[in-house]
Structure 1
Amino acid sequence: MAHASGAHFASTDRWGGVSAAPYAELNLGGAVGDDPAAVRTNRERAARSLGLDPAAVVWMNQVHGKDVAVVDGPWRGGEEIPAVDAVVTARRGLALAVLTADCTPVLLADPVAGITGAAHAGRPGLVAGVVPAVVEAMAGLGADPARTLAFIGPSVCGGCYEVPEAMRADVAGAVPESWATTRWGTPAVDVAGGVRAQLGRMGVSLVGQSHICTMESADHFSYRRDRVTGRLASYVWLGDDERAGEAEGGPGR
């Protein structure tokens, strides 16, 4: 899909990298036990495949919370990456990245104001309110939620994300739209469905959502399926061009 906005949204698959099993191949997560050199190479390949400078990508130390960092450039060498689950920037051309392997990556942009945001919304982050928090942080920089565009990347679907009945009730108590049932009839949580509802309540327009369920797709990493595995990345950035697009697939696809 494409729209005249200058906003770019992209998500990788697991192919086209150099990591060995069980992280094969395009693991972009640096805290899952993979060879750090392989992760660096993979991040460079993924960025270049999207036309990005690998040194101009902001990563997070994700902890399933709702804290947001305002950034104006990549973290400096030796600088400790803060424990946050969302980042926002007013710098065009700076790419914000979210790491996932079932959780929901949320990418946002107000092309008029030149503000972008990215959030890591797992089940705990959904309940904590990381999505409203990132929208509010963008507004603090001058973004208008009514003008903001959102894209939801690959994540586990509500038909696969089985949880205990009490957990489903707790999550749905905070975000009713997350209530789900697996395809085999047991309690489940639809995190992406909850994210969509939260975005809607903030006045943000959803311009796209990946059709991929990470747990079902052999082309994507899934923690719930494999436990020891790699991480996908989803990116958002604003260019100076008039056309924007959404892409899925790593350098190997």
Structure 2
Amino acid sequence: MLWWREQVGDGLWVAFTDKAAGNLALHVGDVPASVQDRRRSLETELGMVPGSLRFMNQVHSANVGVASTGQPAPPPETEIDALVSPQADVPLAVMVADCLPVVFAGSTADGGHASAVAHAGRRGLLDGVLVNTVSELRASGVSDIRAWIGPSICGRCYEVPAHMRTASCEQLPQLYSETSWGTPALDLPAGAAGQLETLDVETRRLNGCTLEDSRLFSYRRNPQTGRFAGLVWREL
């Protein structure tokens, strides 16, 4: 069910699911009741309040929302690709199937924790979704921010047209890559790690290429695929 998990604070966990947890997305043609059942099973397994895990309407934007028990949740149709929980009091999820799932944790002034998740494909990464997420965390008074970059398509597999690689690398040089068969490519994890390092965010990259590993969902391998998730939550 979990590709990887780690306790990163007092009761605070980060994790990434795999295919064993099943498809967690409602927008890929799956039976909605089955998706909801999988989400509830995941919440129960990980010690969350059933129905509390917050998902996003992801559209490859750089928009950031705020999730807190003290304020209304963004409407489900709100188009955002990152969520910040300034007190880490709302469990958060980001869904992917080749793009980067990035999970954040940080310290608050009162000795507590903050959390965030972000969905970073090529467009979102270049448009600043990670930069905006870090900015929102810091605007909330969060320090000592850490980030975990979960499994995604790797730089050896993410083939793109030469003109796209050139334009992307002009903005973020760390993206430059070639496929294992010698064609232009982009290395999204390297680009994200480089960008986060310039923001003084301690970053950990996890192993796993979605295209190469059948235990993970991959849109490039199968456009009809499901979505796995990056998670951050406080255990009950």
Cα deviation, residue 238, structure 1: 4.2
Task: Find 2:151's aligned residue among 142, 149, 154.
Answer: 154
Q: Is the 8 A contact 1:104 1:192 kept in 2?
A: yes
Output the CA distance in 2 between the equivalents of 1:142 and 1:78.
21
1:222 corresponds to 2:227: no
3-state SS of the aligned residue for 1:226? Answer: coil
Task: Find 1:11's aligned residue among 12, 16, 31.
Answer: 16
User: What is residue 48 of structure 2 aligned with on the other side?
Assistant: 52
Q: 1:166-200, CA deviations, whole angstroms, 9 ceiling, x for partnerless residues?
A: 11111111111011111111100111111101110
Q: Is the 8 A contact 1:223 1:229 kept in 2?
A: yes
Output the CA distance in 2 between the equivalents of 1:149 and 1:39.
30
Output the CA distance in 2 between the equivalents of 1:85 and 1:49.
25
Q: 1:50-78, CA deviations, whole angstroms, 9 ceiling, x for partnerless residues?
A: 22223221110001010100121499799
Task: Find 2:206's aligned residue among 206, 210, 218.
Answer: 210
1:124 corresponds to 2:123: yes
3-state SS of the aligned residue for 2:221? Answer: helix
Change (3 A) 1:238 1:78: closer
Cα deviation, residue 93, structure 1: 3.9
User: What is residue 115 of structure 1 aligned with on the other side?
Assistant: 114
User: What is residue 191 of structure 2 aligned with on the other side?
Assistant: 194
Task: Find 1:87's aligned residue among 77, 83, 99.
Answer: 83
Q: 1:118-140, CA deviations, whole angstroms, 9 ceiling, x for partnerless residues?
A: 10000110110100000000111
1:42 corresponds to 2:46: no
Q: 1:113-160, CA deviations, whole angstroms, 9 ceiling, x for partnerless residues?
A: 42111100001101101000000001111112xx11111111100000
Task: Figure out how many residues of one structure are paired with residues of the other and give that number.
Answer: 228
Task: Find 2:168's aligned residue among 144, 166, 171.
Answer: 171
Change (3 A) 1:238 1:163: same
Unpaired runs of at least 5, structure 2: none
Output the CA distance in 1 between the equivalents of 2:70 and 2:38.
17
Q: Is the 8 A contact 1:58 1:75 kept in 2?
A: no
Amino acid at match of 1:229: T
Greater RCO, CA 8 A, separation 6+: 1
- What is the TM-score with the length of structure 2 in the denominator? 0.90
Identity of matched residues, %: 38
Change (3 A) 1:125 1:227: same
User: What is residue 236 of structure 1 aligned with on the other side?
Assistant: 232
Q: Is the 8 A contact 1:58 1:74 kept in 2?
A: no
- What is the TM-score with the length of structure 1 in the denominator? 0.84
Amino acid at match of 1:9: V
Between 1:230-239 and 1:186-195, the stretch displaced more is 230-239
Task: Find 1:64's aligned residue among 60, 70, 73.
Answer: 60
User: What is residue 133 of structure 1 aligned with on the other side?
Assistant: 132
Unpaired runs of at least 5, structure 1: 17-25, 241-253
3-state SS of the aligned residue for 2:37? Answer: helix
User: What is residue 181 of structure 1 aligned with on the other side?
Assistant: 178
Cα deviation, residue 89, structure 1: 1.0
Change (3 A) 1:3 1:98: closer
Cα RMSD after superposing both structures: 2.2
Q: Is the 8 A contact 1:87 1:134 kept in 2?
A: yes
Output the CA distance in 2 between the equivalents of 1:192 and 1:205.
14
